[in-house]
Amino acid sequence: MIIDMHIHTIYSGDSIIAPEDLIEQAEQLGLDGICVTEHDSYQASQVAAEFAEGTDLLVLRGIEISTDLGHILVYGIMDDDWKTLGEPKRIAAQELIDYARSRGAVAIPAHPFGGARHSIGDDLSSLAGIFAIEGYNGEIEVEDNLRACDLAEELNLKIIGGSDAHRLGEIGRCVTVFERHIETLEQLLDELGAGRFQAKYL
């Protein structure tokens, strides 16, 4: 099952993808599913989910949260109560990871070596409680993705893929291929935890 794990719409503020266009494009590309991960807001992804109703496309919702070390993708938190941890960009990365785990969610550092893209980089080695990173990101240079993959191997971490799309033509550049069929967020979390997936360029 092919899922783009990292996509933004106009509700992220820095994307020009309208939710309805996102759904149409993802279907045309033959993706089985997408995760809409708006910046620092769970509620912001609601519109995209509504546009997907009645389609065959699986649309799940996550959040890309800005921490003191960089961006972290969170899957499994279905509200914005995480904001009690502090203001975006000031939240301690480790505190967010611990919070996500306490709620049965997963926290996956995004584009670890994305340069100016608010990336955690070598600080990954100081973080506890993560089992995967976004090793394939469609918005950064291949060399930077390879660097992330090398560090993941060194730290024995799994790798997911996501386009990080902010424009229509970027959707699906990088994806995560799951071994089993997924229909719900709970099943996604199960498959992530079991490690039954691999990242891929399309």
Task: For residue 192, report the phi and psi dihedrals to the nearest 5 degrees.
Answer: -65, -45
pLDDT at 115: 67
Question: CATH topology for 2-201?
Answer: TIM Barrel (3.20.20)
CB 67 within 8 A of CB 99: no
Percent over 90 (pLDDT), the chain: 97
Q: What is the pLDDT of residues 149-172, one digit of tens each?
A: 999 999 999 999 999 999 999 999
Under the banding of pLDDT at 50, 70 and 90, the label for residue 114 is confident
* Mean pLDDT score, 2-29: 98
CB 62 within 8 A of CB 73: yes
Domain extents for the chain?
2-201
CB 112 within 8 A of CB 119: yes
Q: What is the pLDDT of residues 119-133, one digit of tens each?
A: 999 899 999 999 999
Instruction: Classify the C-alpha dihedral 84-114-139-192 as positive or negative.
Output: negative
Q: What is the pLDDT of residues 47-60, one digit of tens each?
A: 999 999 999 999 99
Q: What is the pLDDT of residues 177-196, one digit of tens each?
A: 999 999 999 999 999 999 99
This model's pTM is above 0.95: yes
Which of 35 and 122 is assigned the larger pLDDT? 35
pLDDT at 170: 98
